[in-house]
Chain A
Amino acid sequence: MTDLTLSNQALATKPAPPKQATAFRLPTQWIGVAPFFIFALMFLILPTIYLVVGAFQRGDGSFTLDNILQLVSDPSISSSYWVSIKISFWSAIIGAFAGLAIAIAIVRGGLPGWTRSATLTFSGVASNFAGLPLAFAFLATLGRVGIVTTLLRDVLNINIYAMGFNFLTTSGLIAVYLFFQIPLMVVIIVPAIDGLKKEWGEAAATLGATQSQYWRMVVIPVIWPSFLGTVILLFANAFGAIATAYAFAGPALNIVPIKLYSQINGDVLHNPQLGYAIAFGMIIITGLANVFYIWFRTRSERWLK
């Protein structure tokens, strides 16, 4: 099928020189995608570049590396990065493995059909149920007067707060973040597991492979790229999340997004340029994660060919 549309055919039958026809075509080629690119440039790319450039400038616009260096030298900022990375990393890893386990259980575990559809529906909802309402739900459950807290205290005589439990610790936040990380993993990884063809298992069995060999040599290499990609998505998801943590402790909690939030609201670090540097650091970390993802994926795709 040729690429000529009717209007161009009409033009082509006229004795007009072809140059004129291409001159006519060019704007219509781009006009459909123009709104998209203008929008992306104005409201996604330029604002990001603006922050990145600002990270390397003093207040008067001259070049400096001081802001970037301060990310490392200021202990309150570097520790907030460290806490954020830890929370995002572990919630992504634990969420990914738990989500994978649930996905394998419902797709391959021989459970009745309703478990699959119920899990997928619920995961779709729960992966979008984040932010403030999620924090409220956990406060009602495990807060100081939460239902589970009081049940444990009154019935089993276990006071989890006396045992050192707290939402504002790294592990407390990880547990809460898993509530949207696990379902997100399930939603994304189930199609990948569905993609494992029955014939592969049969072929492996015919060739004498054991169950563990089948998993090690067939299943894991095939779902590895989607698994890794989702881990990185989960990492970025947790790294930028702010509302849930903010609902627990307001501006007091020392993670990067909340630090940036306070800085934007009131210049708490007393250096407007430092806000740019914090934002730049966040982009670098999520960007690096994606570079790793692409690198891993090209490596594993070589094996998939």
Chain B
Amino acid sequence: MKSGKFWAWVVFIVGAAYFFIPLMATVEFSLRMRRGVHSFDAYQIVLGDARFQSTFLYSVVAAIFTIILGVLIVVPAAYWIRLRLPQLRPIVEFITLLPLVIPAIVIVFGYIRMYGSNSPLPFLGSNMGANALLVIGYATLALPYMYRAVDTGLRTIDVRTLTEAAQILGAGWGTIIGRVILPNVLIAVLSGAFLTFAIVIGEFTMASLLNRPAFGPYLQNIGANRAYEPAALAIIAFAITWGCMSLIQILSRFAPKSANRPN
């Protein structure tokens, strides 16, 4: 048992080194812009760049719309499957796993060819349409995570009793989903939302191929042309990802723990 503990420490320390050395080095590198001293020049230049601000804002807005679209698609479907159509569960689970199988670049390639400006549904014919298509593409990327988060949330509440109680009180379907079910799974939905945000914010492939002024293509441009700013951007991106994950962890403390009906 003694040697087991020794090897556990070895594995842990080697793993920690593999992950912390690049991060430390990136921090150090990002502070080296001014010769001879450590400074935050690289961060100042990046944060002051008008293109940083506009592309970042664009991606934040895209992420928010992605989350709204994802919730509108996933919550009713997951709810209905739990309540009425459990026989559809395998099909829906299979579909939600597809985005993990079909690479993002293939999905967006399909969009470009199917929804081009000469097609019956010309999303790419207009600026707004292309923005919408990007949000749609992001929603497909987020589908596996969103569905799983919402489904886990629904498992912890008694969907059927809540629905019947609401119906007895005269609620319609819109009220039931919007004012009874959604608040109960809000924490699960928010976890899915922050994960979606982390995935979407720096996404490169879809934004670049749909030619959108998003944060990912901006990162690529800076990475190809500058020396110290990319390191600063990497640290900023890491901080954003870390922020999203911490919010998910904090939220999970508020999530209901016990399953009333384990179905």
CB-contacts of A4-63 with B (<8 A) = 5-7, 28-29, 32-33, 35-37, 39-40, 43-48, 50-51, 54
A132 touches B216 (CB 8 A): yes
Give every chain A residue within 8 A of B114 (Cβ-Cβ).
46-47, 50
B231 touches A137 (CB 8 A): yes
Residue from B74, B102, B173, B202 whose CB has the most chain A CB atoms within 10 Å = B102
Q: In the bound complex, what is the Cα–Cα distance between A269 and B216 (angstroms)?
A: 26
Nearest CB in chain B: distance from A273 CB, A: 11
Q: Name the residue of chain B whose CB is nearest to the CB of A36.
A: B77
Asked if B40 lies at the interface with its beta carbon under 8 angstroms from chain A, I say no
Q: How many residues of A contact B (CB 8 A)?
A: 85
A282 touches B12 (CB 8 A): no
Give every chain B residue within 8 A of A138 (Cβ-Cβ).
22
A35 touches B76 (CB 8 A): yes
Asked if A250 lies at the interface with its beta carbon under 8 angstroms from chain B, I say yes
Give every chain B residue within 8 A of A236 (Cβ-Cβ).
100-101, 103
**Contact A136 B231, CB 8 Å, known A128-B195, A279-B106:** yes
Asked if A106 lies at the interface with its beta carbon under 8 angstroms from chain B, I say yes
- Chain A 279-290: CB-based contact to B (< 8 A → 1; otherwise 0): 100110011001
Asked if A233 lies at the interface with its beta carbon under 8 angstroms from chain B, I say yes
CB-contacts of B79-121 with A (<8 A) = 79-81, 84-85, 88, 92, 95, 98-107, 109-114
A137 touches B23 (CB 8 A): yes
Give every chain B residue within 8 A of A242 (Cβ-Cβ).
105, 204-205
Asked if A87 lies at the interface with its beta carbon under 8 angstroms from chain B, I say no
B109 touches A279 (CB 8 A): yes
Q: How many residues of B contact A (CB 8 A)?
A: 87
Asked if B137 lies at the interface with its beta carbon under 8 angstroms from chain A, I say yes
Of the listed stretches B3-11, B49-57, B182-190, chain A binds B3-11
Asked if B153 lies at the interface with its beta carbon under 8 angstroms from chain A, I say no
Asked if B162 lies at the interface with its beta carbon under 8 angstroms from chain A, I say no
Q: In the bound complex, what is the Cα–Cα distance between A257 and B5 (angstroms)?
A: 42
**Contact A126 B19, CB 8 Å, known A43-B140, A243-B220:** yes
A240 touches B105 (CB 8 A): yes
Q: Name the residue of chain A whose CB is nearest to the CB of B163.
A: A5
Give every chain B residue within 8 A of A122 (Cβ-Cβ).
19
Q: Which of B73, B98, B104, B230 is close to A39, meaning CB atoms less than 8 Å apart?
A: B73
Q: In the bound complex, what is the Cα–Cα distance between A233 and B106 (angstroms)?
A: 17
- Chain B 240-254: CB-based contact to A (< 8 A → 1; otherwise 0): 011011101100000
B216 touches A243 (CB 8 A): yes
**Contact A148 B21, CB 8 Å, known A286-B102, A287-B101:** yes
Q: Name the residue of chain A whose CB is nearest to the CB of B230.
A: A136
B164 touches A6 (CB 8 A): yes
**Contact A140 B74, CB 8 Å, known A236-B101, A243-B204, A243-B205:** no
Give every chain A residue within 8 A of B21 (Cβ-Cβ).
141, 148
**Contact A257 B249, CB 8 Å, known A33-B85, A44-B95, A140-B234:** no
What would 28 A/B residue contacts be, using CB atoms closer than 8 Å?
A: A3-B84, A33-B76, A33-B80, A33-B85, A35-B72, A36-B73, A39-B136, A44-B98, A48-B106, A50-B110, A51-B109, A105-B8, A121-B246, A124-B245, A131-B202, A131-B204, A132-B204, A133-B234, A137-B231, A137-B238, A141-B25, A179-B22, A240-B104, A243-B216, A260-B105, A286-B101, A286-B102, A286-B103
List the interface of chain A (C-beta within 8 A of B): 1, 3, 5-7, 28-29, 32-33, 35-37, 39-40, 43-48, 50-51, 54, 98, 101-102, 104-106, 108-111, 115, 119, 121-122, 124-126, 128-129, 131-142, 145-148, 178-179, 182-183, 233, 236-237, 239-240, 242-243, 246-247, 250, 257, 260-261, 264-265, 275-276, 279, 282-283, 286-287, 290
